[in-house]
A and B are shown apart, each in its own frame.
Chain A
Amino acid sequence: MTLNAFLFQILNGLSAASGLFLIAAGLSLIFGVTRIVNLAHGSLYMLGTYIAYTFATKIGGVTGFWGGIVATALIVGVIGALIEIVLLRRIYRAPELFQLLATFALVLVINDAALWLWGPADLLGPRAPGFRGAIEILGRRLPSYDLFLIVIGPLVLLALHLTLSRTRFGRLIRAATQDREMVGALGVNQAVLFTSVFALGAALAGLGGALQIAREPANLATDLIALGDAFVVVVVGGMGSIPGAYLAAVIIAEVKALCVGIGVVDFGFVTINFSKFTLVAEFLVMAIVLIARPYGLLGKAQGAVRSIAEPEEPIRPATPLLKALGAVVLVLLVCLPLLAQSTYFGSPYLLVLGIDVLIAIIFAASLHFIMGPGGMHSFGHAAYFGLGAYGAALLVKWLALPFGAALVAAPLLALAGALLFGWFAVRLSGVYLAMLTLAFAQIVWAAVFQWEGFTGGSNGVIGVWPPPPFDKSWVYFLLTLVLAVAAVLLLRRVLFAPFGYAMRAGRDSALRAEAIGIDVKRVHWLGFAIAGLICGVAGGLFAFAKGSISPETIHINRSIDGLVMVLLGGVQTLTGPIVGASVFAVLQDTVMRQTEYWRALMGAIILVLVLAFPQGIVGAFAALWRKAGGRT
């Protein structure tokens, strides 16, 4: 690459950085004040591109384009305010993760709303009036609109900086970011503050999206992509730091632009196409920054967040009633193969569904193990599922390993991955830990996706069927059942062993736990590894149950599915993940078949559950039980 080409790529990166910054700044502001990680932030960005597209094409001209962009920012701001008033305000007192679940439901609903309103096709907006041409720089032609974007980022940064430092609204935002309860006790109406901050953040995301229409088409997949990018930028820059967000946006955009610019490089022994590494590069930068500076480049260690949620109830051993109930369910499950063959309502599909549910239970129980008792909110649990699934499938494909050996090797591979990633992850906590786990999962995903020669790339691995007798679905079902029961009981056993107590002690107060001689990091690291190991079992079973796997197996969606399952059931109950996984898997398998708009339906169901059962399904029943006087 020549120096000119290099500099040109730098300019390209700067224009991309502006869009990244706009969405990340909004996310950062919202998180700072409300402590809500707004998973729907990418969706607001996506809405921005669609709404601006409509203005630019329906009204057209200068008014339609530029006026449309301003109007879009305002409209998305209003949508943000409505979201805060109608939904989030009701759940500020709910556990942090529940808020994540609610905003993820919004992702689903907004995505289907966009599908319904604008259709599935990509929509490319018109060129920007006044910026149609290109300017010759460094011997290449740079679209003048890109120059405009390069300027807009720092302008917004300056505007935000002045707002935060010079206005009372800005001072309130900064104060509330640190201690919102105290701000309330000084007479500031938090509801109004929260709504306006949410509206401001949403408007920034809408603006960022709207500005993209002259560059990239509106597309239904942009919501999660934008969300992932924004997360990386916010975490790299430091949560709550606006200048940090800009710095990080520039770094990430530059790294990506340079990857594209470098292109294919032949190292002699191996040829690497760097332009395919944009995804990995972004998350690698994040992983490196988080390891070196756990609070991001310009972030500060967050003061202990004063939790306004009720303190966690301790987990308790199963009551005799629960044990009996478990036994009944188990007997019913053992009889499921017979039921599936019965003439009246039996169907072979019943066993397929059963296998799906059981795999989901192993997956969710392993995630719950680190999330609930461990207090480590992993956003990348799909990595260990994927390592198990791909490990098993690839061993069969390349080494022709027998079924049993592959099934044993799968969890071991996941364990190795969890040991490696967990070592870094346990050094962080809270949102930063969540983001680092997400980064690792994305790296695994990108590696699988882009290493076509070995993993089959987007085609995945096919023809991974179990040998007889496991090719019969009822036999495979029973195998899955045995492993699921073993996994759940093992995890339970660990939790009620001294190791489990130590893990919970470390969660509740790392300092006090260390003061009584517990090596918290080590305990949490081992906990993380155990969760990865068990999760790998689910992955291995999954590969042989489906006969084929694709990068979907490791996609961020699966990590989020896991979170939804655990939260649906309730984080602080041991039966929670089992119930949550069952409900989720059944819903997914049944609801998905009913309608084209399954995401919206799913989202609506989650929203109803969140508002009706803020402690999860099992948590709600447990609370009812206690109210009824049956204190256990």
Chain B
Amino acid sequence: MTDIMLKVESLSAWYGAARILYDLTFEVGRGEVVALMGRNGAGKSTTMKAIMGLIAQRQGKVAFNGDDISRLEPYQIARRGLGFTPEDRRIFSDLTVMENLDIGRQPPRRFADGAAAPQWTPERLFALFPNLAEMPDRPGGRMSGGEQQMLTVARTLMGNPLLVLLDEPSEGVAPLIVEQMANTIIELKKEGLSILLSEQNIHFAQLVSDRVYVLEKGQIQWQGTMAQLSGSPDIQRTYLTV
């Protein structure tokens, strides 16, 4: 990997007195899809929130697109081109689909080397998520879980991110939607985006990921390529099987 988009060094995080993350070190290359895998409570979501600056009690260094973002506010991190789609989606339920998209809108941006990042408009996103195109004026609160999942990804893409933190996109949605999400991720990868994915579902991760970090109890227990993980039932049994 020549071009590192996200480099996390010794990241730790606490909720009150409880320590959740222990010195995580990992990286995501440009155009790469990396999966953070682990069981419930392993610290996947917390890792993403800590990178995004949403957890006040955190330590360690996070570099993104060549800049240190460890001490920035969430909005400043977002404005550097780091997109975040939370696990619980957090759609603005009083706002329509179009209005939700508008909240995520940010100016076009470039990679550190000057190359333009993929730029998104509602029209392009509707092409990517045809279901959303059918309901531009529907309030977010009256959408199905799968539709909300698409909207939360689309909303993040409106910020023209360079890298997206995708927290459990396959959780609690219908199998058809899961398949669609996988296609979307492959599509985004083709566009040149990097993606850090958190996932419990190995079948989903296998469809889209290049590399894997396996988390347990807030520590990285294993790392390697997706192919290596697929070929190691032992590791899967130890860290992933419920």
A-B contact pairs, 5 of them (CB 8 A): A168-B102, A178-B94, A186-B104, A189-B73, A311-B15
Task: Find out whether the CB atom of B75 lies under 8 angstroms from the CB atom of A189.
Answer: yes
Q: Cβ of B78 < 8 Å from any Cβ of A?
A: yes
- Interface centre among A93, A177, A179, A185, by most chain B C-beta atoms within 10 angstroms, is A185
**How far apart are the CA atoms of A321 and B93 in the complex, in Å?**
52
Contact A181 B54, CB 8 Å, known A187-B159, A188-B75: yes
**How far apart are the CA atoms of A186 and B15 in the complex, in Å?**
23
Q: Cβ of A266 < 8 Å from any Cβ of B?
A: no
Give residues 50-92 of B contacting A (CB, 8 Å): 52, 54, 56, 73-75, 78-79, 84, 86, 90, 92
Task: Find out whether the CB atom of B75 lies under 8 angstroms from the CB atom of A187.
Answer: yes
Q: B-facing mask of A157-201, CB < 8 A → 1, else 0?
A: 000000000001001101101110111111111100000000000
Residue of A whose beta carbon sits closest to that of B85: A185
Task: Find out whether the CB atom of A186 lies under 8 angstroms from the CB atom of B95.
Answer: no
**How far apart are the CA atoms of A93 and B56 in the complex, in Å?**
10
Task: Find out whether the CB atom of A186 lies under 8 angstroms from the CB atom of B54.
Answer: no
Task: Find out whether the CB atom of B52 lies under 8 angstroms from the CB atom of A185.
Answer: yes
Q: Cβ of A310 < 8 Å from any Cβ of B?
A: yes
Q: Cβ of B99 < 8 Å from any Cβ of A?
A: yes
Task: Find out whether the CB atom of A179 lies under 8 angstroms from the CB atom of B90.
Answer: yes
**How far apart are the CA atoms of A529 and B52 in the complex, in Å?**
45
Task: Find out whether the CB atom of A190 lies under 8 angstroms from the CB atom of B75.
Answer: yes
In this complex, the interface size class of chain B, counting residues with CB under 8 Å from chain A, is 20 to 34
- B67 → chain A, closest Cβ, in Å? 15
Total A-B residue pairs with C-beta atoms closer than 8 Å? 62
Task: Find out whether the CB atom of A187 lies under 8 angstroms from the CB atom of B54.
Answer: no
Task: Find out whether the CB atom of B74 lies under 8 angstroms from the CB atom of A175.
Answer: no
Contact A171 B103, CB 8 Å, known A178-B93, A182-B86: yes
Task: Find out whether the CB atom of A172 lies under 8 angstroms from the CB atom of B103.
Answer: yes
Task: Find out whether the CB atom of B102 lies under 8 angstroms from the CB atom of A186.
Answer: no
Contact A186 B156, CB 8 Å, known A168-B102, A181-B54: yes
Task: Find out whether the CB atom of A178 lies under 8 angstroms from the CB atom of B92.
Answer: yes
**How far apart are the CA atoms of A612 and B106 in the complex, in Å?**
38
Please name all residues of chain B whose beta carbon is closer than 8 Å to the beta carbon of A174 when the two chains form the complex. 92, 94-95, 99
Task: Find out whether the CB atom of A187 lies under 8 angstroms from the CB atom of B16.
Answer: no
- B210 → chain A, closest Cβ, in Å? 25
- Interface centre among A93, A182, A310, by most chain B C-beta atoms within 10 angstroms, is A182
Q: Cβ of B30 < 8 Å from any Cβ of A?
A: no
Task: Find out whether the CB atom of A184 lies under 8 angstroms from the CB atom of B156.
Answer: no
Task: Find out whether the CB atom of A184 lies under 8 angstroms from the CB atom of B73.
Answer: yes
Please name all residues of chain A whose beta carbon is closer than 8 Å to the beta carbon of B94 when the two chains form the complex. 174, 177-178
Please name all residues of chain B whose beta carbon is closer than 8 Å to the beta carbon of A181 when the two chains form the complex. 54, 74
Given contacts A175-B92, A184-B73, A184-B75, list 9 more A-B pairs with CB under 8 A: A93-B56, A174-B95, A182-B90, A185-B86, A188-B75, A189-B73, A189-B75, A303-B93, A311-B16
**How far apart are the CA atoms of A171 and B99 in the complex, in Å?**
7
Contact A183 B103, CB 8 Å, known A178-B92, A178-B93, A310-B16: yes
- A423 → chain B, closest Cβ, in Å? 32
Among A93, A186, A310, A311, contact of B103 (Cβ-Cβ < 8 Å): A186
Task: Find out whether the CB atom of B95 lies under 8 angstroms from the CB atom of A185.
Answer: no
**How far apart are the CA atoms of A184 and B79 in the complex, in Å?**
10
Q: Cβ of B155 < 8 Å from any Cβ of A?
A: yes
Please name all residues of chain A whose beta carbon is closer than 8 Å to the beta carbon of B75 when the two chains form the complex. 184-190
Please name all residues of chain B whose beta carbon is closer than 8 Å to the beta carbon of A168 when the two chains form the complex. 102
Please name all residues of chain B whose beta carbon is closer than 8 Å to the beta carbon of A189 when the two chains form the complex. 73, 75
- B220 → chain A, closest Cβ, in Å? 24
Residue of A whose beta carbon sits closest to that of B73: A184
Among A171, A179, A310, A311, contact of B102 (Cβ-Cβ < 8 Å): A171
Q: A-facing mask of B185-221, CB < 8 A → 1, else 0?
A: 0000000000000000000000000000000000000
- Interface centre among A171, A172, A177, A311, by most chain B C-beta atoms within 10 angstroms, is A171
Contact A187 B90, CB 8 Å, known A171-B95, A175-B95, A181-B54: no
**How far apart are the CA atoms of A190 and B75 in the complex, in Å?**
8
- B226 → chain A, closest Cβ, in Å? 28
Residue of B whose beta carbon sits closest to that of A170: B99
When A and B form their complex, which 4 residue pairs have the shortest distance between CB atoms, in order from nearest?
Answer: A187-B78, A182-B90, A175-B92, A184-B74
- A551 → chain B, closest Cβ, in Å? 42
Residue of B whose beta carbon sits closest to that of A179: B90
Task: Find out whether the CB atom of B99 lies under 8 angstroms from the CB atom of A187.
Answer: no
Task: Find out whether the CB atom of A186 lies under 8 angstroms from the CB atom of B99.
Answer: no
- A508 → chain B, closest Cβ, in Å? 13
Please name all residues of chain A whose beta carbon is closer than 8 Å to the beta carbon of B56 when the two chains form the complex. 93
Please name all residues of chain B whose beta carbon is closer than 8 Å to the beta carbon of A311 when the two chains form the complex. 15-16
- Interface centre among A183, A186, A188, by most chain B C-beta atoms within 10 angstroms, is A186
**How far apart are the CA atoms of A187 and B81 in the complex, in Å?**
9
Please name all residues of chain B whose beta carbon is closer than 8 Å to the beta carbon of A190 when the two chains form the complex. 75
Among B16, B78, B93, contact of A185 (Cβ-Cβ < 8 Å): B78
Residue of B whose beta carbon sits closest to that of A190: B75
**How far apart are the CA atoms of A63 and B38 in the complex, in Å?**
69
Residue of B whose beta carbon sits closest to that of A181: B54
**How far apart are the CA atoms of A175 and B104 in the complex, in Å?**
11
Please name all residues of chain B whose beta carbon is closer than 8 Å to the beta carbon of A178 when the two chains form the complex. 92-94
- A177 → chain B, closest Cβ, in Å? 8
**How far apart are the CA atoms of A179 and B94 in the complex, in Å?**
11
**How far apart are the CA atoms of A93 and B57 in the complex, in Å?**
13
Task: Find out whether the CB atom of A187 lies under 8 angstroms from the CB atom of B102.
Answer: no
Give residues 296-311 of A contacting B (CB, 8 Å): 303, 310-311
Contact A175 B54, CB 8 Å, known A182-B90, A187-B75: no
**How far apart are the CA atoms of A174 and B139 in the complex, in Å?**
12
- A150 → chain B, closest Cβ, in Å? 30
- B167 → chain A, closest Cβ, in Å? 11
**How far apart are the CA atoms of A190 and B218 in the complex, in Å?**
30
Task: Find out whether the CB atom of A185 lies under 8 angstroms from the CB atom of B84.
Answer: yes
- A201 → chain B, closest Cβ, in Å? 19
- Interface centre among B52, B99, B159, by most chain A C-beta atoms within 10 angstroms, is B99
- B57 → chain A, closest Cβ, in Å? 9
- A520 → chain B, closest Cβ, in Å? 24
Residue of A whose beta carbon sits closest to that of B89: A182
Give residues 85-118 of B contacting A (CB, 8 Å): 86, 90, 92-95, 99-100, 102-104, 106
Please name all residues of chain B whose beta carbon is closer than 8 Å to the beta carbon of A310 when the two chains form the complex. 16
Please name all residues of chain A whose beta carbon is closer than 8 Å to the beta carbon of B95 when the two chains form the complex. 171, 174-175
Q: B-facing mask of A385-413, CB < 8 A → 1, else 0?
A: 00000000000000000000000000000
**How far apart are the CA atoms of A183 and B73 in the complex, in Å?**
12
**How far apart are the CA atoms of A168 and B54 in the complex, in Å?**
24
**How far apart are the CA atoms of A308 and B84 in the complex, in Å?**
19
Among B16, B84, B86, B103, contact of A175 (Cβ-Cβ < 8 Å): B103
Please name all residues of chain B whose beta carbon is closer than 8 Å to the beta carbon of A179 when the two chains form the complex. 90, 92
Please name all residues of chain A whose beta carbon is closer than 8 Å to the beta carbon of B15 when the two chains form the complex. 311
Among B79, B86, B92, B100, contact of A187 (Cβ-Cβ < 8 Å): B79
- B46 → chain A, closest Cβ, in Å? 15
- A192 → chain B, closest Cβ, in Å? 9
Contact A186 B78, CB 8 Å, known A175-B95, A179-B92: yes
- A363 → chain B, closest Cβ, in Å? 32
Please name all residues of chain A whose beta carbon is closer than 8 Å to the beta carbon of B73 when the two chains form the complex. 184, 189
**How far apart are the CA atoms of A331 and B106 in the complex, in Å?**
66
